[in-house]
Structure 1
Amino acid sequence: MPPEFVRSDPSMWEAVYADPSIPLEKPLIAMIINDQRRISRRWLYPFARVLSRVLVSVITLAKRVVRRRWISLRRMDAMCLWFLRRFVAADAVELLIRHFVVETNLVNFIIRNTETTMEPVTLRPTTLAGLGQNAVVEHDINVYDVLIALEGVRVDAPDQLDFSQLDVPPLDPERRQPRLIRLDIQTALCFMNIPFCIALDLEEYRRAVHSMRFDDSFLEILAVITEDETFKHWKMGALSIWMDSNVDVPQMVYRHALVCEYAHAHLVAMARSRGVQIPSA
């Protein structure tokens, strides 16, 4: 007789939540999992992803002929905020706001722990309205500014690490705002990529897309500063010197946000292990 097999019906999401290799705090993991389990993520995202890619490609080609800004950055901000308030789930909006704070914390950690003369950046929105006023463009520019400021600066582990400002303050995604539908963050990014491409000129859009290729650079710098190889585990092998904007931008943005969260969570864990008090998000 054939041997008996143990039959199991494990939950993929339960395993993800329990995965000890994920450095994020459990409430944040739960929020990300719940967002990925939304109906829109399963049924709408595959179509939104293709639609976004096609429309952005058409817009990019058209802008090679009509070389001007089609709408103002202020109008783009207004369109995206209107969309987020009415069509995107509050948890997804909170994850988006949180990313701006987390990335700023990482940029400032590098600034504070190297000999660069660049002042810490101040982009730490806590409300949905705070994503206006060119926040999207500013947070990309911060990445470039800190890398340029490091030119000629020796990047090495300091005698004592400065873990200040690694907190994530309370965030307001306007949960009381009635939503017509509640899209997940990945589907929302597909739709928001369209006005983003319309508003920026070709070089600005290319610069914004390319900023995510510096994730590996940031992870390498963090590994050197902290003398901790863990940061290198999340590298993708993306070479910053390789220029290519013909990519799946919403997918890159989502992975970029997760990488920032992983790196930030690891820094917070390092700080707490050394007795530095970092409030829980």
Structure 2
Amino acid sequence: MSQSLDPKDILHDPRDPSPWLASYLDQSTPLEDGVKRAWLADAASGSRQYLLPLIRPLARTCIVLIQLLKIPLPRSWSASRMLHRILARGMRLTLSPQANWLIMRHFHLGSQILAFIAANSGVQVQLSPLAPTDIDDLKDELFLKHDLNLYNFIINLNTALRANGSTLAPVPLDQVDFSMLEQPELHLADMPKGRLNAIDLQSAIEIFTPVYQLFLTDNDFWRAANSLQLDETIGIYCATILNSPEHLILLNNKHPLVPMSTLRAGYRLVLHGLSTEMLHCLLMQMKAAQAEQKAGGL
């Protein structure tokens, strides 16, 4: 793919149209322009084209073998800190700048979305935001904490709502609190660009998934894999507050009451990252619409 996705820089041949240009120009789903450029550049890389088809079946085979390996091991065996050091080092040395940038952004966006729901829920909810500014910050078990935060948030939110005798309800656009939403202070240009920084996001996630499984307890890995299906839960919360259920069509990780096999966890994690970016973009668009509405009322 061309280094630029600007239509002026790509010659459109109707007999051989570029799928990347079509995806970039399409505006049917919300996605911030810089994020879409990075996502498509990563998806069009040679790594994803040639490495991913080899990595994916091997990674899924490893998940099965590791599951068998763990049968004789103590159920509580884990090495989370070592895992996060390995993941951070692997990211810094081998992942593409786009992949590292998108992963780092994900922690910020997830924390902001939970803060948005809490602020518009009508109850007090304890939050534990994650906002890494450097890849080495991930060594503080941030991947594990990200999963724990999501479950703890849902438990704390619904406990507070039940105690208050209330439920989430639509909030008029001019009263919705968008104050916590912003673009993270992370820049693609600051990501590592060494000779080996070429592995795309999807291949990296497929590689990291069995490593994640190996160094965590079965309970931690199962919980992490099934947290992906909470995309639907978070989507419903936001759709309820904004009174916009039509946006739930963007979700692919669904049905949290029906746990899925961990074999497809890598693919589902990519969908989770994309849906988070889209939801954050949608909220930012509505924040801008609210500001415009208020400015027009002055």
Match of 2:177 in 1: 162
Match of 2:86 in 1: 79
The answer to whether the 8 A contact 2:209-2:266 is kept is yes
1:113 aligns with 2:101: no
Structure with greater proportional helix content: 2
The answer to whether the 8 A contact 1:155-1:225 is kept is yes
1:256 aligns with 2:272: yes
Give the fraction of aligned pairs with identical amino acids, expressed as a percent: 26
How far off its partner does 1:230 sit? Answer: 3.5
Match of 1:39 in 2: 46
Match of 2:222 in 1: 206
Structure 2 unmatched runs, 5+: 1-12, 293-298
- Single out whichever of 155-164 and 139-148 deviates more from structure 2: 155-164
> Structure 1 residues 45, 220: CA separation in 2 closer, same or farther (over 3 Å shift)?
same
Aligned-partner residue type, residue 90 of structure 2: F
Aligned-partner residue type, residue 168 of structure 2: V
The answer to whether the 8 A contact 1:85-1:179 is kept is no
Match of 1:65 in 2: 72
The answer to whether the 8 A contact 1:77-1:133 is kept is yes
- Single out whichever of 237-246 and 253-262 deviates more from structure 2: 237-246
Map of 1:220-259 to 2, 5 A cutoff?
220-236=236-252, 238-259=254-275
Structure 1 unmatched runs, 5+: 1-5, 277-281
> Structure 1 residues 241, 176: CA separation in 2 closer, same or farther (over 3 Å shift)?
closer
> Structure 1 residues 21, 70: CA separation in 2 closer, same or farther (over 3 Å shift)?
same
Map of 1:114-129 to 2, 5 A cutoff?
114-129=121-136
The answer to whether the 8 A contact 2:92-2:192 is kept is no
- Single out whichever of 11-20 and 57-66 deviates more from structure 2: 57-66
- Single out whichever of 70-79 and 98-107 deviates more from structure 2: 70-79
Q: Supply the distance in 2 between the matched residues of 1:105 and 1:230 (Cα, whole angstroms).
A: 22
Match of 2:199 in 1: 183
Match of 2:8 in 1: none
**2:143 is paired with a residue of what secondary structure?**
helix
Q: Supply the distance in 2 between the matched residues of 1:52 and 1:176 (Cα, whole angstroms).
A: 25
1:82-119 deviation per Cα after TM superposition (whole angstroms, max 9, x unaligned): 11111111121001001111111111111111033222
Pick one of 128, 136, 149 that aligns with 1:142: 149
The answer to whether the 8 A contact 2:171-2:243 is kept is no
> Structure 1 residues 181, 93: CA separation in 2 closer, same or farther (over 3 Å shift)?
closer
Q: Supply the distance in 1 between the matched residues of 2:108 and 2:187 (Cα, whole angstroms).
A: 13
Aligned length: 272
Pick one of 29, 37, 61 that aligns with 1:54: 61
- CA RMSD of superposed structures (Å): 2.1
**1:24 is paired with a residue of what secondary structure?**
coil
Q: Supply the distance in 2 between the matched residues of 1:63 and 1:209 (Cα, whole angstroms).
A: 17
Pick one of 120, 135, 139 that aligns with 1:132: 139
How far off its partner does 1:250 sit? Answer: 1.0
